[in-house]
Each structure stands twice: as structure tokens, then as C-alpha cells.
């Protein structure tokens, strides 16, 4: 990689050539950060015995985003390398290593001397601790470099770092919108952006596509208006039921829907204390005898629980329900955006008289000031909203930042 691998993306090339030791990149969705971070890590690995880390908010996200892309590129370049799948580690013949890790467990990096760190989706880290207390000290011995890349999530630690990067020595900061990518400088690309603008709330579009630091001090479900979303419709025995399910044991939270021609209507809810999946299924069977239906649950329910030989998903299927979920949950910010969009467009309605716990969550959940984290000091809060999110996101998913409506 003596020459730059970047041939058609001027913004990426500008960052690639910049000599700053620490680089902060604030960008819109689909700009091309995964490609850039991968190439920067591979370049750093050309120095023998380099220790390089890629850090994502969660281990699963690190694996989903970078693991296969990293191996494919190394093979494409014809490099000799070895992999450790359990540790998500690539080792080159020159004894350089690249490892994918989670920001949730910063202690795993303590004591290491790092050559290069790529901190992806830094705005979604819970705090700046992993940088200030772990990664930054680990870079000192080798005079290692770091790059931060993220779509903003309010004026949190990414915002502070971005502003500091404008003035601190050996730092550089950039901000690029999605449209700054050459991949969107075509009629089709511009049309995609315009569609996103139509399909997202104004605030979400500014944040996700224009890389704008929008204030997140207010409500998470800002588009929820009880007067606008209320619907008196109750259970229709001719329609199947759809259950969004959060598996927290107390409360077990179920948002129960039926799909009508004009909207997805939440007709009921379960909010059971000290419960389990078996009880949820029995209550639903008793309340709606003979009806068919399917669950849209938390994806983690595919794992066996500590007190059962079966997983939550297996228990649900044993009661005759279908399970609709992916291998992993969509990111919280995507679920929030999908729910807000659905409320704005009238795609989701709620019988607010029956679904009181749902209404309480949607009306009262707020962000911790200056962060993109929900303020859930009440242990009962947030679980019903999560159940809503699993059901609504499956109906109106976000693809590349676009909320796709089956009713549009």
C-alpha cells in the first residue's frame, strides 16, 4: 500500500494525506467511513509488530461492520495472515495485529501499547472513559495514532472532541455530509438523499445525513402526540396479532398490535412483574383464544435463559407463534428514528386508553443532558418503549437511513 487506495473520494483522500496524529471525523450516513477506517488500519499494519485496534460500541457491531470486510481486503491484497475468530484478531506475517474490540469492556485494552486505534461510532460510546483513561495512555509508548469516526448523536463527548480537534496541536477535525460522498453525486444518489429527507423527521435528517450536532436534551420519542396517535380500535378476531416483546424479567413488556389497511394499531399491552416468557404466552393465549400471531422480540431471546433448557424464542414457538427477528437488534437510534417517523406519518396508532404504560414511556423518556443515552433512573422505564420499537421497526425498517413504509 505504498500508494493511496483512495481514487475517487476527495474528502477521504484529504483525511488520508493529513499528517495530524489524531483525527476526528464527523460524517453523515453512507459517506464511506468503514472503507476509510479499514484502509487506515491496514496501512498502519505495514509497520512490523504494530498493535492496532478497531473499537465499536458493541462487539457484535464491530464484527458485523468490520470483520469480514477486513479479511476480504487482506485476501484481495494477497497478504499472508492468520485469524483468531473468537478474539476477532488478524495477525500478519510481519507480526502486526489488528483486533476488533468493544467499547463496553475498555479494561481489555489496559496494559497494551497501541500503534493505532480506530474508534468507530464514537458518539454512541456511553462515556469518553475508554479514550481518556484507556486508549490515549496506551498510545503513548509508541506515539500511536487514532482516528474517530461517527455520525453525531447530540452535543456529547464527540462534539467536545470535534471542537477540540480544531485547535489542539497534532489534531484535525472534519465534518462532511452524506452528499459530500461522490457516491451520491449522481442523479440516483441525489434522489436517494431527497427520499431520505422526505422519510425522516427534520431533526433526524439533519443529524444522520447532514452530520449536524442536534440537541438531544428533550424527549426521545419527540413525534409522539397522544391526541394525534390515539385510536379507539380494539381487538379484531379476523386479524392476527403482532407482539413486540422486551424480555426484561420485571417487567416483561409486550406491545400488542394488529395490522389494518391504514395503520399498525396497538390495541393492548402486557406489563408483568416477576414474570417469564411462558407466562406471557399463556396470558396472550387466554386473552386472545384461537387467534394466530407472531412475536417481534428482542433478538437476544434466541439464547437460552439461565433457568430454562429452552431459549425465549423456542418457548414462543412452542405456543404456536411465529418469531420475526434478525440475528441482532437494530441500533437503538434506528429504532427511535423509525418510531418517530411512523408517528409523524400516521403509520402507527395506539389505543392510549388501554396502553397506559406505553404512553407513559413515549411521553416521558428523555435523553440524559448532553448525551444520546436514555435517562432511565426508574428501573420500570423504557422496557415498553423497547417492545414498541421491535414491533414498529420490523414493520417500517430503516434501510441505509430510509424508513420504508409498507403503507406509502
Q: Which of 78-82, 108-112, 274-278, 362-366 has the lowest mean pLDDT?
A: 108-112
Rounded to whole angstroms, the Cα distance separating 17 from 15 reads 5
Q: Is the pLDDT of residue 136 over 60?
A: yes
Q: Which long-range contacts (CB under 8 A, 24 or more apart) does 279-283 make?
A: 279/252, 280/245, 280/252, 280/254, 281/315, 281/316, 281/319, 281/321, 282/319
- The band of 199, judged by pLDDT with boundaries at 50, 70 and 90, is confident
Q: Is the pLDDT of residue 4 over 80?
A: no
Rounded to whole angstroms, the Cα distance separating 26 from 204 reads 15
Q: What pLDDT is attached to residue 408? A: 37
DSSP per residue over 308-335, as a string? -SSBHHHHHHHTT-EE---SSPPPHHHH
Task: Report the share of the chain in percent with pLDDT over 70.
Answer: 93
Q: What pLDDT is attached to residue 407? A: 46
Rounded to whole angstroms, the Cα distance separating 200 from 345 reads 10
Q: Output the nine-digit C-alpha cell for 42.
A: 491496514
Query: Tens of pLDDT along 86-97?
Result: 999 999 999 999
Mean pLDDT of the chain: 88
Rounded to whole angstroms, the Cα distance separating 231 from 240 reads 18
Give the position of cell 477535525.
173
Query: Tens of pLDDT along 16-34?
Result: 999 999 999 999 888 889 9
The answer to whether 257 and 244 have CB atoms below 8 angstroms apart is: yes
DSSP percent split of the chain into helix, strand, coil, nearest 5: 35, 20, 40
Query: Which domains does the chain carry?
Result: 10-184 (3.40.50.300), 226-403 (3.30.420.280)
- The band of 215, judged by pLDDT with boundaries at 50, 70 and 90, is low
Q: Which of 48-52, 81-85, 206-210 has the lowest mean pLDDT?
A: 206-210
Average pLDDT, stretch 389-397?
94
Would you say the pTM of this structure is higher than 0.85?
Answer: no
Task: Report the share of the chain in percent with pLDDT over 90.
Answer: 56
Q: Is the pLDDT of residue 101 over 90?
A: yes
Q: What pLDDT is attached to residue 173? A: 92
Taking alpha carbons only, the member of 327, 345, 323, 333 closest to residue 391 is 323
Query: Tens of pLDDT along 267-310?
Result: 999 999 999 999 999 999 999 999 999 999 988 866 555 456 78
Q: What pLDDT is attached to residue 150? A: 92
Comparing 19 with 163, the larger pLDDT belongs to: 19
- The band of 329, judged by pLDDT with boundaries at 50, 70 and 90, is confident
- The band of 105, judged by pLDDT with boundaries at 50, 70 and 90, is confident
Specify which of 127-131, 184-188, 321-325 reaches the highest per-range mean pLDDT.
321-325
Q: How would you label 83-92 residue by residue, b for 16+ Cβ within 10 Å and e otherwise?
A: eeeeebebbb
Amino acid at each position: 500500500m505504498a500508494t493511496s487506495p483512495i481514487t475517487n473520494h476527495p474528502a477521504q483522500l484529504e483525511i488520508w494525506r493529513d499528517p495530524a496524529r489524531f483525527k476526528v471525523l464527523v460524517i453523515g450516513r453512507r459517506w464511506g467511513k468503514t472503507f476509510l477506517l479499514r484502509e487506515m488500519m491496514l496501512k498502519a499494519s505495514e509497520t512490523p509488530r504494530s498493535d492496532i485496534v478497531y473499537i465499536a460500541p458493541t462487539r457484535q457491531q464491530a464484527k458485523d461492520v468490520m470483520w469480514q470486510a477486513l479479511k476480504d481486503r487482506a485476501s484481495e491484497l494477497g497478504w499472508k495472515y492468520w485469524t483468531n475468530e473468537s478474539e476477532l484478531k488478524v495477525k500478519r506475517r510481519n507480526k502486526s495485529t489488528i483486533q476488533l474490540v468493544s467499547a463496553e469492556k475498555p479494561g481489555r485494552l489496559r496494559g497494551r501499547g497501541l500503534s493505532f486505534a480506530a474508534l468507530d461510532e464514537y458518539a454512541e460510546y456511553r462515556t469518553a472513559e475508554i479514550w481518556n483513561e484507556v486508549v490515549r495512555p496506551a498510545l503513548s509508548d509508541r506515539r500511536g495514532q487514532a482516528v474517530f469516526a461517527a455520525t453525531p448523536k447530540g452535543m456529547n463527548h464527540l462534539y467536545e472532541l470535534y471542537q477540540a480537534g480544531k485547535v489542539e496541536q497534532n489534531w484535525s477535525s472534519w465534518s462532511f455530509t452524506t452528499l459530500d460522498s461522490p457516491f451520491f453525486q449522481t442523479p440516483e444518489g441525489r434522489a436517494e438523499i431527497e427520499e431520505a429527507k422526505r422519510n425522516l423527521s427534520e431533526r433526524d435528517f439533519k443529524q444522520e445525513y447532514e452530520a449536524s450536532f442536534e440537541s438531544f436534551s428533550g424527549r426521545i420519542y419527540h413525534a409522539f402526540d397522544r391526541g394525534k396517535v390515539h385510536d379507539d380500535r380494539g381487538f379484531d378476531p379476523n386479524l392476527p396479532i403482532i407482539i413486540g416483546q422486551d424480555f426484561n424479567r420485571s417487567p416483561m413488556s409486550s406491545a400488542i398490535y394488529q395490522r389494518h389497511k391504514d395503520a399498525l394499531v396497538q390495541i393492548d399491552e402486557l406489563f408483568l412483574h416477576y414474570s417469564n416468557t411462558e407466562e406471557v404466552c399463556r396470558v396472550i393465549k387466554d386473552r386472545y383464544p384461537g387467534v394466530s400471531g407472531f412475536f417481534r422480540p428482542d433478538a437476544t431471546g434466541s439464547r437460552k435463559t439461565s433457568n430454562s433448557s429452552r431459549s425465549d424464542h423456542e418457548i414462543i414457538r412452542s405456543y404456536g407463534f411465529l418469531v420475526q427477528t434478525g440475528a441482532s437488534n437494530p441500533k437503538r437510534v434506528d429504532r427511535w428514528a423509525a418510531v418517530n417517523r411512523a408517528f409523524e406519518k400516521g403509520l402507527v396508532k395506539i389505543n392510549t386508553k388501554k396502553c397506559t404504560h406505553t404512553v407513559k414511556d413515549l411521553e416521558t423518556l428523555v435523553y440524559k443532558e448532553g448525551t444520546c443515552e436514555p435517562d432511565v433512573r426508574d428501573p420500570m422505564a423504557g422496557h415498553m418503549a423497547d417492545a414498541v420499537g421491535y414491533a414498529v421497526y420490523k414493520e417500517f425498517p430503516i434501510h441505509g437511513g430510509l424508513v420504508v413504509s409498507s403503507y406509502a
